[in-house]
Structure 1
Amino acid sequence: MDPVQTVDWSMLPAPHDDGACDHLTQLRLPSIQLPATVGGPIDPGQLDGTVVIYVYPMTGRPDRSLPSGWNDIPGARGCTPQSCAFRDHYQELRSAGATHVFGPSNQSPEDQREAADRLHMPFPLLSDADGQFAGQLRLPSFEADGQRRLKRVTLITRDGAIVKIFYPVFPPDRNAEDVLNWLKQQEA
């Protein structure tokens, strides 16, 4: 497994709830086929059961520099620790009722595949490189080095309808545990 660097989250600017996800409660996911790192395209909006979708800005690659000022953008840093936490809690999330877990970003399918392979992800990462999924849901975003990046938000859906939103997500490495605790509360 790829070791995850320990991050002192107190040294980074925390995102604040700007209300950009308030409209998502009870929305249905759009029916859009997203390229996946495993198998063919996946349409999260057509899946039955409880689906966890953690949307993130981008996973850095060892062979590329991060966008300039990345650490100064509230909530930008932490995609790898977040993904690794979902990887490490994957079986627990499944046991708590998640039928699927996905990690979409607007990175290319190739970048998503590189991250999935390097991080040994047990579930597919999805690519919304054309922005259709994020656009139809009106997901919040920011700009870094002239590229639009999605803000970090986690959606839990049941049979295609959003039932829980985690936004803003900070620190990102705790998100999987927060989702797991919420799922367990639903079982009780």
Structure 2
Amino acid sequence: MDTPTDTSAEYLVGQQFPLLSLPSTTGETMGPMNFAAGSFVLFVYPRTGRPDEVEPGGWAQVPGAKGCTPEACEFRDLAADFAAIGYRVLGLSSQGTEYQLEAVERLHLPYPLLSDPGFARATACGLPTFGFEGELLHVRSTLVVSDRTITHAYFGVTDAAAHPRRLLAQLQQDR
């Protein structure tokens, strides 16, 4: 098993965010026009689980793998605070839209989750991935984008539940 590790993401700061199209839990495809202007936080996570599914053995031992639901819920709870300083929140994983839709409904997420099963966004942005039980997954990461420029980038986020609040504080301070 390959495990994700903290990786410097500074090289992405100042880079242009790639304009790709991805399916969304809104039922629409988010395309270049959705990413070309404005500000947003894109949190990238390995995968969500479901209450009726057993967590794979060893999942909790993978640094940064566990915590997708707490992270998504913290972004949910802080979405209005992010919006107050001009940021939309978006989530992204390699899971299909139908699978992600269950999480949006169950967790009452006010923001869309994007599906990148072919890792097009990961490849275009240079986002790290890792293998687990024969499946390729995204390393928990976050990109902050303003008018298509990446202003903050974090790879290998290990404290998923605390990360959204820390990020919000950083963005509030930067304003």
With structure 1 as the length reference, what TM-score do the two structures score?
0.85
Aligned residue for 2:72? 83
Which amino acid letter does the alignment assign opposite residue 55 of structure 1?
A: V
What CA RMSD, in Å, does the superposition of the two structures yield over aligned residues?
1.8
Counterpart selection for 1:50 from 39, 47, 62: 39
3-state DSSP of counterpart to 1:182: helix
Q: Structure 1 residues 154 and 62 mapped into 2: Cα distance closer, same or farther (>3 Å)?
A: same
Q: What is the CA distance between 1:172 and its match in structure 2?
A: 0.6
Q: Structure 1 residues 29 and 38 mapped into 2: Cα distance closer, same or farther (>3 Å)?
A: same
Counterparts of residues 7-46 of structure 1 (less than 5 Å): 16-19=5-8, 21-43=9-31, 46=35
Counterpart selection for 1:180 from 150, 165, 168: 168
Structure 2: how far apart are the matches of 1:139 and 1:39? 25
Structure 2: how far apart are the matches of 1:150 and 1:16? 12
Aligned residue for 1:6? none
CA contact (8 A) 1:106 1:130 kept: yes
Q: What is the CA distance between 1:16 and its match in structure 2?
A: 4.6
With structure 2 as the length reference, what TM-score do the two structures score?
0.91
Aligned residue for 1:136? 124
Aligned residue for 1:8? none
3-state DSSP of counterpart to 1:172: coil
Counterparts of residues 46-125 of structure 1 (less than 5 Å): 46-98=35-87, 100-125=88-113
- Identity fraction in percent: 38
